[in-house]
Every structure is written in structure tokens, then in C-alpha cells.
């Protein structure tokens, strides 16, 4: 386990995607967060919000 951004992240695997679904209690709105890893390094956070 590694700590990134003040929270626990899953152990990284090469070329593996960790989707993290977040469903905030907001009317007519939800978001999708995808964390992208390359080896031991997290390279991107993809944040998509739907309204």
C-alpha cells in the first residue's frame, strides 16, 4: 500500500486502471474518478462529472 495525496492508494500494477466510483449526494449529478498508474507511479487522475 502507498499513501498518495493524503489517502491510501491500491498497490500499483503496470498498465492497470483503478476506477474509483464516487456518488456524491447531489441532485442530478454524479462523478467518475479514474486513477491511472504506470508501474509504481500514478500518472493521472481523470475526473468526469455528469449533470
User: Could you read off the pLDDT of 4-43 as tens digits, one per residue?
Assistant: 555 555 555 555 555 555 555 555 556 677 788 888 888 8
Task: Find, among 19, 26, 23, 6, the residue nearest to 45 by Cα.
Answer: 19
The structure's pTM equals 0.34
Beta strands 17-26 and 7-9, pairing class: unpaired
Instruction: Give the pLDDT confidence score for residue 28 in this predicted structure.
Output: 59
- Supply the range of the domain harboring residue 36: 2-50
* Local confidence band at 45 (pLDDT 50, 70, 90 cut-offs): confident
How many independent structural domains does the chain possess?
Answer: 1
Instruction: Give the pLDDT confidence score for residue 33 in this predicted structure.
Output: 76
CA distance 1 to 38: 15
Amino acid at each position: 500500500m502507498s499513501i498518495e495525496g493524503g489517502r491510501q492508494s491500491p498497490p500499483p500494477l503496470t498498465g492497470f486502471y483503478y476506477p474509483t466510483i464516487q456518488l456524491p449526494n447531489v441532485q442530478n449529478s454524479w462523478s467518475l474518478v479514474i486513477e491511472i498508474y504506470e508501474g509504481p507511479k500514478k500518472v493521472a487522475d481523470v475526473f468526469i462529472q455528469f449533470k
